[in-house]
């Protein structure tokens, strides 16, 4: 395999027309994504924001996919890693909450996590900390399954939260307004008698905020893995 972007040296620094580095390129790309989503990120747009020509960026990276990899790794670098002496469940819990907090700062991050693990140094450090927290006296495969399960919960939960945030932005309806708009229809459906458990949930359940829901769900995952 050819050298990946993290291993390749940067071109020699030049003062004109604008000083560049991978760090500046990634910082600028992240700012564009924070403001306008991933669709606001392209090599041309990043170069324009830096006051540079797009061709200069190709000295620092080869493709937009490499830029997205670098952006993802930069956000992984924002997630605090637990102290090595932290007990496994507490460490996994801290990493999960740190990942969610990173998504809340950079909602596009939710679109880039999951699937194959990132290969950047920060993503590898996150994965190393996760595996170390999950590793026990049993086979290392048990730790792999634990980490996969916890990370699947985190990615699913944060993507659901970001989907809700985007729906509010797109429709102008927050959750309360959406429930009001849907209430007449839902009443007709509940009156049909076909959805008794949904009716009981809507009528009787306490509906905590997103922080509490995420924490409670994570506790159940860890408990189910005998790590709670």
- Supply the pLDDT for residue 69: 94
pLDDT (tens digit per residue) in 53-92: 888 888 889 899 999 999 999 999 999 999 988 889 999 9
* Residues 52/18, Cβ–Cβ less than 8 Å: yes
pLDDT at 3 over 80: no
The phi and psi torsions of 42 (rounded to 5 degrees) equal: -150, 160
- Supply the pLDDT for residue 13: 67
What mean pLDDT do residues 44-53 have? 91
- Supply the pLDDT for residue 228: 57
CA distances from 152 to 71, 118, 183 (A): 21, 15, 32
- Supply the pLDDT for residue 16: 54
pTM for the model stands at 0.86
Q: Mean pLDDT score of the chain, rounded to an integer? A: 88
- Supply the pLDDT for residue 90: 93
What mean pLDDT do residues 116-123 have? 88
Q: Which residue has the higher pLDDT, 139 or 116?
A: 139
pLDDT (tens digit per residue) in 168-198: 887 877 777 877 887 888 889 888 989 889 8
- Supply the pLDDT for residue 182: 78
pLDDT at 1 over 60: no
- Percent above pLDDT 90 for the chain: 54
- Supply the pLDDT for residue 11: 77
- Supply the pLDDT for residue 102: 97
- Supply the pLDDT for residue 59: 85
CA distances from 186 to 5, 12, 199, 208, 209 (A): 52, 64, 9, 21, 22
Q: Which residue has the higher pLDDT, 195 or 16?
A: 195
CA distances from 160 to 23, 83, 164, 167 (A): 30, 29, 6, 11
Cα–Cα distance, 217 to 173 (Å, whole number): 26
């Amino acid at each position: 395999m050819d050298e990946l972007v993290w291993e390749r040296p940067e071109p020699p620094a030049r003062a004109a027309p604008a000083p560049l580095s991978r760090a500046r390129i990634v910082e600028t790309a992240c700012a564009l994504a924070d403001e306008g989503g991933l669709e606001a990120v392209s090599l041309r747009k990043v170069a324009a924001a830096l006051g540079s020509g797009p061709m200069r960026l190709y000295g620092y990276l080869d493709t937009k996919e490499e830029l997205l990899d670098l952006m993802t790794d930069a956000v992984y670098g924002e997630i605090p890693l637990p102290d090595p002496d932290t007990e496994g469940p507490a460490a996994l819990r801290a990493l999960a909450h740190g990942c969610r907090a990173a998504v809340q700062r950079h909602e596009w991050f939710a679109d880039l996590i999951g699937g194959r693990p990132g290969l950047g140094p920060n993503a590898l450090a996150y994965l190393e900390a996760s595996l170390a927290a999950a590793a026990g006296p049993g086979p290392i495969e048990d730790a792999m399954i634990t980490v996969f399960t916890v990370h699947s919960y985190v990615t699913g939960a944060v993507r659901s939260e970001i989907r809700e945030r985007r729906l509010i932005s797109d429709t102008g309806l927050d959750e309360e307004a959406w429930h009001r708009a849907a209430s007449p229809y839902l009443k007709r459906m509940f009156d049909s008698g076909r959805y008794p458990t949904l009716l009981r949930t809507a009528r009787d359940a306490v509906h905590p905020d997103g922080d509490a829901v995420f924490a409670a769900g994570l506790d159940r995952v860890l408990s189910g893995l005998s790590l709670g």
